[in-house]
Structures are given as C-alpha cells and as structure tokens.
Amino acid sequence: MSIPESKPSLLLSLLTMKCPSCRKTHVFVNKSMFPLSQLVVLKDSCEICGQKMKSEVNNGGGINYALTMILFVFNLIWYWPIFGISYKDDSIFYFLGSSLAIVLIAQPYLMRLSRMIYLYLYVGFGASNKPS
C-alpha cells in the first residue's frame, strides 16, 4: 500500500478480496461478512479500473467444495499430532465433529474466497486496460 504504483501481491489481494485487475478496491458490496444474505454479492464493476465483476456464470461451487476438503485435510494435520486419532475409540468422530465445526465457521470466508479464486482465474492483473 505504501507504493501505489507497484503491483500488489497476488495472494494478498486474493485473500483480502481485492479487485483482480487493479488490486485496489474491495470487490464485494459489503466489506463485512454480514448480513449473510449479501455475503457473496459482488459490485457491478470496480470503481477504480472499471473491471466488470459480475459473470454470467454462477460460479465458485466447485472451488468451494475443493476448499472445504482442503480445510478438512488441514485440520487433520494439526489435530492428529495434538489429540491423536485412533480406530480403537471415538477419536475419529471427535475429529470429524471439530473439523465440521471449523468448516462451518470458515464457510462464509470460503464462499467468498472461492468466488475470488474464480474471478482471479478469469481476470488477470490490468485486464481492464486491455481492449476486449
């Protein structure tokens, strides 16, 4: 943010839900996750570069599923060494329960993130400057 001319980091812009083309503005109508009914409502276009945000295709479902699975695996990585998982007792169910809770809590963010990943796949940096 200190040097406005520099190209902001792709990953950082993605995680902070910035415009895929100029990486300066927030792409969602509400910065906050609430109200949840407007969670994934995108702006029509970017205020700075004019990049269109809305795509005809309703998307993100598949990516969202993948992210959810990744989160499950990620949970396994920290859960296993700390609490241990064994087939001898109910620990696998505790793991599944806690993973499910984490996935549910992270879901609003994951839904936005999957939409962002989709946008970033289709809109490259500076895309709005190129003739279409």
Cβ atoms of 21 and 128 within 8 Å: the answer is yes
DSSP string, 59-99: --HHHHHHHHHHHHHHHHHHHHHHH---SSSSHHHHHHHHH
Q: Measured from the CB of residue 4, what is the shortest distance to Zn ion in angstroms?
A: 13
Structure letter (DSSP) for residue 38: G
Q: How far is Cα 85 from Cα 52, in angstroms, rounded to an integer?
A: 47
Q: Measured from the CB of residue 51, what is the shortest distance to Zn ion in angstroms?
A: 5
Site for Zn ion in 18-37 (CB under 5 A): 19, 21-22
Cβ atoms of 7 and 129 within 8 Å: the answer is no
Residue from the set 17, 27, 39, 51 that interacts with Zn ion by CB under 5 A? 51
49 binds Zn ion (CB under 5 A): yes
Window contacting Zn ion (CB under 5 A); options: 12-20, 53-61, 74-82, 110-118: 12-20
Window contacting Zn ion (CB under 5 A); options: 49-57, 75-83, 96-104, 105-113: 49-57
Residue the block writes with tokens 């329960």: 97
Structure letter (DSSP) for residue 85: -
Q: Measured from the CB of residue 116, what is the shortest distance to Zn ion in angstroms?
A: 13
Instruction: Say whether 27 sits in a helix, a strand or coil.
Output: coil
Instruction: Write the single-letter amino acid at 118.
Output: Y
17 binds Zn ion (CB under 5 A): no
Q: Measured from the CB of residue 20, what is the shortest distance to Zn ion in angstroms?
A: 8
Residue from the set 48, 69, 70, 101 that interacts with Zn ion by CB under 5 A? 48
Catalog residues that contact Zn ion under the rule CB under 5 A. 19, 21-22, 46, 48-49, 51
